[in-house]
Amino acid sequence: MSLDNIVAVVMNLLNSFGNYSNTIIAIVNIILVIFIFLQLRDSRKPIITTKIISGNKEVTDRSDVLESGKLYIAINNESKNIAKSLEIKYRFNFDNSSREVEKCCLNHLNPEEATKILLRTKSIREKHLALFEEVTEGSTTKIIPKKTLKIVLIITVGYNPIFADLFKYKIEDNYVIEWGSLESCPNFEDHPILNCWNKRNDNFYIYKTSKAVQKVKIIKSADNDISW
């Protein structure tokens, strides 16, 4: 290839670049703006956590590896940033089925605020009547599982969308609930027996970290019926 041909090729490339330079610069600027926006959004990201607590605990209390009795889901904003447009959902998985129990929305959760939601295990009883039996002692009747039920509780929280309800941050936590039967707990007075373990994949116990020593505490419920 002659020198004139080489010069011609180079000039054509420069002309082509000149024709598209504005487009290339615009694309680079858009990418830069998106990058800066994502960095800024991430710096303002709230830290949302979930935990299961017994009915006698406050949302500020630390959850133990095992919680028992009337159970609540606690949603905590543990950061200095506001959490907006929270969508809280939980569902039960057991007996080869999945059931979304509740979906609720909270417009915002300020820094270092928390809320709690009653865990509605009653919906399991209503949908799976064959798994339960009515047991009466004296004047007291309770609905108790025929066999201990092992239930996987899955909680998801979406928050801080970019626009409308789109592109939210999302977290997911899962816990294992054991709903005791008379076979596992023969003492009628102790029922309903609901134990919730901070446990995943059957083998891994999840410890909620803090300066306090982790304790395992079983709380007996005085309720005569499961009405939550």
pLDDT in tens, 81-132: 999 999 999 988 876 666 667 788 999 999 989 999 998 888 788 888 888 9
pLDDT score, position 15: 67
Region 186-193: mean pLDDT is 84
CB 70 within 8 A of CB 90: no
* CATH code, residues 46-205: 2.60.40
Q: Is the pLDDT of residue 72 over 80?
A: yes
pLDDT score, position 77: 92
pLDDT band of residue 226 (cuts 50, 70, 90) is: very low
Q: Which of 20-29, 46-55, 183-192 has the highest mean pLDDT?
A: 46-55
Question: Is residue 70 classed as helix, strand or coil in its secondary structure?
Answer: coil
Region 188-200: mean pLDDT is 81
State how far the Cα of 186 lies from the Cα of 169, in Å rounded to an integer: 45
For residue 228, give every residue at least 6 positions away whose Cβ sits within 8 Å of its Cβ, in sequence order, or none.
70, 118, 119, 120, 121, 122
pLDDT score, position 109: 93
CA 219 to chain centre: 24
Q: Is the pLDDT of residue 220 over 50?
A: no
pLDDT score, position 212: 38
> 208: number of CA atoms within 13 Å, CB side?
22
Q: Tokens 């800024």: give the residue.
A: 40
For residue 174, CA distances in Å to 93, 94, 103, 207, 220 come to 10, 13, 16, 13, 23
Question: Is residue 30 classed as helix, strand or coil in its secondary structure?
Answer: helix
pLDDT in tens, 125-181: 888 888 899 899 888 888 889 998 888 899 999 999 988 778 899 999 888 888 889
pLDDT band of residue 14 (cuts 50, 70, 90) is: low
pLDDT band of residue 191 (cuts 50, 70, 90) is: confident
State how far the Cα of 66 lies from the Cα of 28, in Å rounded to an integer: 53
If you compute the radius of gyration of the chain from its CA atoms, what whole number of angstroms results? 27
pLDDT score, position 225: 46
State how far the Cα of 75 lies from the Cα of 69, in Å rounded to an integer: 19
Which of 1-10, 52-61, 95-104, 175-184 shows the lowest per-residue confidence on average (mean pLDDT)? 1-10
Q: Is the pLDDT of residue 7 over 60?
A: no
pLDDT in tens, 15-30: 665 666 777 777 878 8
> 150: number of CA atoms within 13 Å, CB side?
6
Region 60-85: mean pLDDT is 88
